[in-house]
């Protein structure tokens, strides 16, 4: 089987979203040596910001209007990205919360893919494909916390992946990942350890479930 994995962190070393996704992937591959993992690192190899409007223009132009070379290349990139995603039996998305919102790298990738007709409509090509979304947040956004309601990314990502693209989606989350980095959060070290341990357990469960659902 084939797993499509997308990482949106701008970091490679020390990335909590990558580490959480590594656990999911480890459980996915456990006991099976013939699996393939397609890796897309949009955090370090981003979709150019100009690609989306070019692809939109190429798609919306009447058939008799000649597309520019830049429009054709943007449209071709969208096709390649969707082809790669659709070639997998399951998907894993690892996306951190940046500045209370969606990572620009993940958003640019989503915008580009939506220009492909296969990713729109009542029944997009990804409908029913099992997927896991791994989300990490540097702070704590739980009910009653000072940052409750400040996460403007997770709901949007779940809406796109689960309702627009209709992946069979499960979510694993980790919070307080900036504890140990930001001295202002030192008083929450014990809580952060507990939250990390819980997230790792959930990631293993989601990874096993992902393999089972894909099979």
Among 201, 93, 197, residue whose Cα is nearest residue 154: 93
Domains and CATH numbers, the chain: 2-214 (3.40.50.360)
Among 43, 25, 198, 32, residue whose Cα is nearest residue 108: 43
Q: Is 147 helix (H, G, I), strand (E, B) or coil?
A: coil
For the chain, 215 residues long, give each residue's pLDDT as a single digit of tens.
Answer: 999 999 999 998 889 999 999 999 999 988 676 789 999 999 999 999 999 999 999 999 888 889 999 999 999 999 999 999 999 999 999 999 999 999 999 999 999 999 999 999 899 999 999 999 999 998 888 888 888 899 999 999 999 999 999 999 999 999 888 888 888 888 889 988 999 999 999 999 999 999 989 87
Among 186, 155, 190, 160, residue whose Cα is nearest residue 173: 155
Long-range contacts (CB closer than 8 Å, 24 or more residues apart) made by 141-150: 141/175, 142/175, 150/100
Q: Which residues touch 159 (CB under 8 Å, ≥6 apart)?
A: none
């Amino acid at each position: 089987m084939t797993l499509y994995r997308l990482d949106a962190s701008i970091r490679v070393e020390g990335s909590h979203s990558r580490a959480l996704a590594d656990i999911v992937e480890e459980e996915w591959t456990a006991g099976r040596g013939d699996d393939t993992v397609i890796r897309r690192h949009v955090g370090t190899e981003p979709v150019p910001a100009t690609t989306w409007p070019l692809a939109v223009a190429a798609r919306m132009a009447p058939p008799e209007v000649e597309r520019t070379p830049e429009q054709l290349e943007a449209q071709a990139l969208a096709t390649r990205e969707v082809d790669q995603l659709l070639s997998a039996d399951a998907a894993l998305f690892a996306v951190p919360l940046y500045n209370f919102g969606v990572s620009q790298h993940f958003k640019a990738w989503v915008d580009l893919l939506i220009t492909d007709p296969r990713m729109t409509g009542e029944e997009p090509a990804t409908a029913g494909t099992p997927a896991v979304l791994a989300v990490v947040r540097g702070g704590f956004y739980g009910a009653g916390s000072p940052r409750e309601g400040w996460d403007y990314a997770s709901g949007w990502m779940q809406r796109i992946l689960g309702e627009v693209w209709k992946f069979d989606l499960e979510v694993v989350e980790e919070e307080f990942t900036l504890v140990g980095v930001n001295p202002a959060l030192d008083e929450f070290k014990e809580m952060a350890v507990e939250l990390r341990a819980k997230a790792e357990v959930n990631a293993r469960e989601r990874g096993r479930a992902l393999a089972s659902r894909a099979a």
